Chain A
Amino acid sequence: MKWHVLNPLWVAIGAIGLVLLARQFMVPDDFGVHGRNFTYGYHRLSNIQEWKDFPVKYQGRDYCTDCHAENVQEISGSAHAIIQCENCHGPGVNHPGSVQSLTIDTSRGLCLRCHADLAYPNTNRGTMPSVVDKTHRRRRECINCHDPHNPRGV
């Protein structure tokens, strides 16, 4: 009986054993099938909480109303009622806490997002007032003449 033929097998078993041992240390304990099945639910469970803990930035208009009720009221009665405060004022996270005042985007580019003339027929955009950027008061910011909280106001 030539037992030496099994020597490579012992080496192989040893190598596989090493991998299994490595698994004990290198794979997090909560890694497994969580959810529907192996195909779609194989993952590290604690990752779910990690994503839940991701910091929220945008607060929503209701958050702004607490302190800025007047501005909210003004814009709500105007043609810009559908615009969210944070669309122009940026996310309200940490405000008024560590961020004293939010940086307002007053660039032409912001207004042109909706109001640049594209002349597309049968679109929602086609129903909105629009300007041709190149020919309309080129070197000035829109807010010089137009009040964003009350665009059609006098």
Chain B
Amino acid sequence: MPEDMVVHGLEWTVKELFVYPNEYIYWAIQIVMYPYMTGLVAGAFVLSSLYHVFGQKDLKPIAQFSLVFSLALLPVAALPLLLHLQQPTRALEPLLTPHFTSAIAAFGIVITFYGLIVLSEIWFVYRAYFVAQVHELKEQPGLLSALRRIVYRALTIGASDVSDGAIRVDKKAATILAAIGIPTACFLHGYAGFIFGSVKANALWMSPLMPVIFIMSAVVSGIALCMLTYIIIMEWQAYQSRRGGSVLEASEIKGAEIDVISKATRYLLAFLVLAITLEILDLIFRGYTAMKSWDILRSVMYGQDFRNIFILQYTLGNLVPFMLLVLPGRTLRRTAVALVLVLFGVFMMRWNVVIGGQAFSLSFSGYMHYELPIIPHNLETFKEGLFGALTVISMPFVLFWVINKFIPSLRRDAESIK
């Protein structure tokens, strides 16, 4: 076969017994990354909304951060899809000719709508800060300050009234947007679950529970990521101030606040329990009703995927962090470990749904094994390989670093906003 002729999926699929000739693992690592990233987006936003809408004052510091972080996550949610598409130059088509009977067509509309909400909410929260920066930077000399001033002026979109009345309106608008944003975030990730749950051809995916399971685990992952990033950043800043390298006074840096973490942990546990309950329920139903697909599904779950499902996801990713968070004497370090495990558990859930659903043939008489390409040797094995996945997972942090330069959201900086 000539060099440019690649059978998509052939490289990383190993077939066993009888598999239809055209069956390969078409939805590979990037399709695992995509719901994972959108889940983080939805979860981060819900966490922020717990403060803005439900007035959970203890969550204020982390709420600021998670709102901006969800903005950094948003473009990254689209990145796995761009890497997956065989024709990425046609990626805008779901916006141009959306075929609404397809769950994926909803993607263009929902992510646009959701993006507008997040951007608008951030605007209302930070508008006074932008205006303040415009005034402050006027005094400072230098090209960099002038450039930054231009950016802030653009960000104000001409609204420079910072009277008490205007600020009150800003707060009200932010609250309403956060309220609308919660169902939108749920929809954003619920429909991702619908993408899988509505595929009747796939015996593992087809389930009305899929959208709900996805939403629950999305919120879990979002909260966990925000908490973890928050802890790391705050502890790093506290560490730096203790070493005497910081400009601010030591008393201002207290590190990650235990109260904030405790409160967020309670929400995390609630959603974690919900997510696990639904997944176990799905499993029990399948075993009980024992449809034609049950034989091969059971064979996959208890055989080749046993480690991935029961050990990595359910035990290491759910049970162990649950114990760590619930047992008395919970320290910050134990929480951090639990959060890492939770994030891993949610990733394994996505993996077990996407890859697990393709681990058996449509013939129910054969298996497919997924071998993630590690070292890329062509474009395909990069895009749908380990390095493609690493590119995706590192992007939000890069973006957040850039955004944070203009829209500061960490405790030290947030103090100057409200």
Contact = CB atoms under 8 A, between A and B. Distances in A.
Given A2-B165, A4-B159, A5-B173, A15 B101 contact: no
A19 B116 CA distance: 14
Contacts of A98: none
Interface string B355-384: 000000000000000000000000000000
A26 B92 contact: yes
B16 interface: no
Nearest to A44: B97
A8 B119 contact: yes
Given A2-B166, A26-B92, A26-B96, A7 B159 contact: yes
Which of A8, A11, A38, A42 is packed against the most chain B CB atoms within 10 Å?
Answer: A8
Nearest to A32: B97
Contact of B158 (A7, A12, A19, A26): A7
A110 B170 CA distance: 78
Nearest to B120: A8
A2 B158 CA distance: 13
Contacts of B123: 7-8
Given A2-B166, A4-B161, A26-B92, A12 B101 contact: no
Interface in A19-56: 19, 22-23, 26-27, 31, 38-39, 42
A27 B124 CA distance: 36
Nearest to A8: B120
A39 B120 CA distance: 34
A21 to B, nearest CB: 11
Contacts of A12: 116, 120
Contacts of A4: 127, 158-159, 161, 166, 169
Contacts of B169: 2, 4-5
A39 B159 CA distance: 45
A27 B159 contact: no
B96 A22 contact: yes
A26 B92 CA distance: 10
B75 to A, nearest CB: 14
A23 B170 CA distance: 34
Contacts of B57: none
A12 B117 CA distance: 10
Given A4-B166, A5-B169, A42-B99, A22 B92 contact: yes
Given A23-B96, A31-B97, A42-B99, A15 B116 contact: yes
A4 B124 CA distance: 10
Contacts of B161: 2, 4
Given A12-B120, A39-B101, A27 B166 contact: no
A19 B113 CA distance: 13
Contacts of B116: 8, 12, 15
A27 B96 contact: yes
B56 to A, nearest CB: 24
A22 B108 CA distance: 14
Contacts of B101: 38-39
A22 B112 CA distance: 15
B10 to A, nearest CB: 23
Interface in B170-184: 170, 173
A19 B96 CA distance: 8
Nearest to B172: A5
A2 B165 CA distance: 8
A27 B123 CA distance: 33
A5 B120 CA distance: 10
A143 B95 CA distance: 60
A11 B159 CA distance: 13
A23 B95 CA distance: 9
B157 interface: yes
Interface string B74-95: 0000000000000000001001
Contacts of B166: 2, 4
B166 to A, nearest CB: 5
A15 B115 CA distance: 11
Interface string B271-300: 000000000000000000000000000000
A137 to B, nearest CB: 32
Interface string B28-63: 000000000000000000000000000000000000
6 contacts: A2-B166, A4-B159, A5-B169, A22-B96, A26-B96, A38-B99
Interface of B: 92, 95-97, 99-101, 112, 116, 119-120, 123-124, 127, 157-159, 161, 165-166, 169-170, 173
Q: Closest 4 CB pairs between A and B? A: A4-B159, A8-B120, A2-B169, A7-B157
Given A4-B158, A19-B95, A39-B101, 11 more contacts: A2-B165, A4-B169, A7-B157, A7-B158, A8-B120, A12-B116, A15-B112, A19-B96, A22-B96, A38-B101, A42-B99
